C-alpha cells in the first residue's frame, strides 16, 4: 500500500453544555467584554462539567465522527488523542477513550504538542497509513483547558475553552489526487518559557483560588485547585506566532508547488483573531474563506483545528476538490501545517 492515499471520511465535534461569556468574566476578574473581544475576538467559551473528563468529550466527538463515516469502533485500526490535559498521567487518554467506546486490541496512544497536537497527529498518521500500517484510524483533539488556567490571571484565563474534535482517516489503495497531500512540522524549545504550564509543586496552590469563581454566574463554578496553571508572555508569543505561521504557510505551498490562489479554505488554530487575520492576509484571503470559531469557542488548544473543520463541514461550504490548509502554533514552541484536497 505504498501508493495509498489518505482521506478524511468522518468528522465530529463535541462542546460542553456550560458556556462562560465575557460578561460572566466581568464578575470574576478586572476585565470587560469590550477589552476581551477587541484584543482576541473571543465572546464566549465552553467549560467542561465537573463530572466530565477529557476522555468523555473525546469519546462523544469520536461517536459523531464514526457515525458520519458510517463506521463503528470495531472498524478502527488505531485511535490517537492529541491533548495537553489528559485524564491522568497514565494510562493514555486514548486507551480510556477506547474502553469507553467498547474498542479492544487495536493500538491507542496520545500526542502532546499542545495547540499543534492535531496538526502533528495528522502528519504522523498520514505517514503511517501511506506506509500500509493502518487502514482506518481515528484522530481526536480534546482539551479541558479550563482546568489548567489561573482564574485570577486576566491575561490568560479569558483565552481558553474546552471541547473535542475528531476525524476518521481512511487509506485507499490508489494514488488519488484528493485526500491528504502532506505536512510540514517545526519546533524550537528555546522559546519554551514564553508559554508554559508547569507541574504544580504542592497539592493546592493558593494562586489558583478565587471566591468569585463560584459565584460568577448562575449554576457556574470552576475548581482549579492543585492544577498546573498556564503562563504566557502574550506580546512575545503573538510576534513569534505571526512570524512562524507566515513562514510555514510559505514553506508548505512551495513544497507542493502551489500558490496562495490555490487555497480554497484556511482552517487555522483558533487562538486569537488578530493572528488569524495576519495569516489570512499572508495568503491574500478574505475572512470569508477562513473557518472561524474563535468567537464562540475561544482557544481549545489541540481541539481547535478539528472543531473549526467540523464547523466548516457542518455549514455545507466544503466541496469536493477544494484545497484546505490547516495550521497551528503552540507552546514549545511547536508549529506546523497540513494540506488536503477535500474528498469526502
Q: Which one from 115, 210, 272, 297 is the annotated catalytic residue?
A: 115
DSSP 73: G
Across the strands, what pairs with 11?
167
pTM recorded for the entire structure? 0.92
Q: Which one from 7, 46, 210, 269 is the annotated catalytic residue?
A: 269
Contact 237, 259 (CB under 8 A): no
Q: How large is the C-alpha radius of gyration of the chain?
A: 19
Q: Which one from 46, 157, 272, 299 is the annotated catalytic residue?
A: 299
Contact 294, 279 (CB under 8 A): no
Contact 65, 168 (CB under 8 A): yes
105-132 core/surface letters (b: 16 or more CB in 10 A; e: else): ebebebbbbbbbbbbbbbbbbbebbbee
Per the annotation, the verdict on 157 as an active-site residue is no
Pairing of strands 78-82, 108-111: parallel
Residues 6+ apart with CB under 8 A from 87: 53, 54, 55, 93, 96
The CATH class of the 1-344 domain is: alpha beta
Per-residue pLDDT of the chain (344 residues), as tens digits, is: 356 899 999 999 999 999 999 999 999 999 999 999 999 999 999 999 999 999 999 999 999 999 999 999 999 999 999 999 999 999 999 999 999 999 999 999 999 999 999 999 999 999 999 999 999 999 999 999 999 999 999 999 999 999 999 999 999 986 566 899 999 999 999 999 988 888 765 444 444 444 444 444 444 445 444 567 888 888 898 899 999 999 999 999 999 999 999 999 999 999 999 999 999 998 999 999 999 999 999 999 999 999 999 999 999 999 999 999 999 999 999 999 999 999 88
Amino acid at each position: 500500500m505504498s501508493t495509498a492515499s489518505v482521506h478524511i471520511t468522518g468528522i465530529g465535534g463535541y462542546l460542553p453544555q456550560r458556556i462562560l461569556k465575557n460578561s460572566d468574566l466581568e464578575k470574576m476578574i478586572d476585565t470587560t467584554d469590550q477589552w476581551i473581544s477587541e484584543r482576541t475576538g473571543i465572546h464566549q467559551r465552553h467549560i467542561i462539567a465537573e463530572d466530565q473528563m477529557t476522555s468523555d468529550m473525546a469519546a462523544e466527538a469520536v461517536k459523531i465522527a464514526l457515525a458520519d463515516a458510517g463506521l463503528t469502533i470495531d472498524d478502527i485500526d488505531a485511535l490517537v488523542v492529541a491533548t495537553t490535559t489528559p485524564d491522568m498521567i497514565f494510562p493514555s487518554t486514548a486507551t480510556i477513550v477506547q474502553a469507553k467506546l467498547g474498542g479492544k486490541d487495536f493500538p491507542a496512544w496520545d500526542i502532546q504538542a499542545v495547540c499543534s497536537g492535531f496538526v502533528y497527529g495528522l502528519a504522523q498518521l498520514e505517514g503511517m497509513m501511506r506506509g500500509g500500517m493502518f487502514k482506518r484510524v481515528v484522530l481526536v483533539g480534546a482539551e479541558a483547558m479550563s482546568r489548567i488556567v489561573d482564574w485570577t490571571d486576566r491575561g490568560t484565563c479569558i483565552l481558553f475553552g474546552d471541547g473535542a474534535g475528531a476525524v476518521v482517516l481512511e487509506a485507499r489503495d490508489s494514488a488519488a489526487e484528493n485526500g491528504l497531500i502532506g505536512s510540514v512540522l517545526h519546533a524550537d524549545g528555546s522559546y519554551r518559557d514564553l508559554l508554559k504550564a508547569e507541574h504544580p509543586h504542592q497539592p493546592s496552590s493558593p494562586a489558583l483560588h478565587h471566591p468569585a469563581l463560584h459565584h460568577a454566574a448562575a449554576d457556574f463554578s470552576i475548581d482549579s485547585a492543585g492544577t498546573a496553571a498556564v503562563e504566557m508572555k502574550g506580546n512575545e508569543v503573538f510576534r513569534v506566532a505571526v512570524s512562524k505561521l507566515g513562514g510555514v504557510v510559505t514553506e508548505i505551498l512551495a513544497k507542493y508547488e502551489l500558490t496562495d490562489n490555490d487555497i480554497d479554505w484556511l482552517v487555522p488554530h483558533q487562538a486569537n483573531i488578530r493572528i488569524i487575520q495576519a495569516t489570512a492576509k499572508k495568503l491574500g484571503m478574505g475572512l470569508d474563506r477562513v473557518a472561524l470559531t474563535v468567537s464562540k469557542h475561544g482557544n481549545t488548544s489541540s481541539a481547535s483545528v478539528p472543531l473549526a473543520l467540523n464547523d466548516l463541514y457542518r455549514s455545507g461550504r466544503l466541496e469536493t476538490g477544494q484545497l484546505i490548509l490547516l495550521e497551528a502554533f503552540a507552546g514549545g514552541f511547536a508549529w506546523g501545517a497540513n494540506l488536503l484536497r477535500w474528498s469526502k
